[in-house]
Amino acid sequence: METMDYNQIKQRAEAWIKEAGNMIKDSFDRERTITYKSHAADLVTEMDKSIERYFIRHINHEFPDHRVLGEEGYGDNITDASGVLWIIDPIDGTTNFIHQQCNFAVSIGIYFNGIGMLGFIYDVAKDELFTAEKNNGVYLNGQKLPMLQKTVLEECVFGINATWLTPNRRFDHTLLLPVVKRSRGTRSYGSAALEMAYVAAGRLDAYLTMRLSPWDFAAGKILIEEAGGIVTTVYGDEISLLEQNSVFCGKPGLHEQVMKELLSGQK
Query: Rule CB under 5 A: which residues touch Ca ion?
Result: 71, 89, 91-92, 216
Q: Which residue is nearest to ligand IPD (CB)?
A: 192
Contact between 89 and ligand IPD per CB under 6 A: yes
Q: Which stretch binds ligand IPD (CB under 6 A): 76-84, 87-95, 173-181, 236-244?
A: 87-95
The contact mask relative to ligand IPD for 223-262 (x = CB under 6 A, - = no) is ----------------------------------------
Listed in sequence order, the residues at least 6 apart from 224 whose beta carbon sits closer than 8 Å to its beta carbon are: 148, 196, 199, 200, 230, 231, 249
Three-state SS string over 21-51 comes to HHHHHHHHHCCCCEEECCCCCCEEEHHHHHH
Dump strand ranges (E) for 172-222: 185-187, 206-212
Nearer to ligand IPD, 137 or 190 (CB): 190
Amino acid letter, residue 123: D
Closest approach of Ca ion to the CB of residue 36, in Å: 11
CA 139 to chain centroid, in Å, comes to: 15
| DSSP per position, 121-146 | EEETTTTEEEEEETTS-EEETTEEPP
Tell me the HSE value of 27 on the side-chain side, using a 13 A CA sphere.
Answer: 22
Closest approach of ligand IPD to the CB of residue 144, in Å: 26
Scored b (16 or more CB within 10 A) or e, 129-155 reads: bbbbbbeeebbbeeeebeebeebebee
The contact mask relative to ligand IPD for 190-209 (x = CB under 6 A, - = no) is xxx----------------x
Q: Looking at the DSSP assignment, which residues form a beta bridge with residue 257?
A: none
Q: Which stretch binds ligand IPD (CB under 6 A): 75-83, 89-97, 148-156, 250-258?
A: 89-97
Q: Which residue is nearest to Ca ion (CB)?
A: 92
Contact between 93 and ligand IPD per CB under 6 A: yes
Work out which of 216, 226, 229, 251 binds ligand IPD, going by CB under 6 A.
216
Q: Kindly list the residues in this chain that would bind ligand IPD in the complex (CB under 6 A).
A: 71, 89, 92-94, 161, 190-192, 209, 212, 216
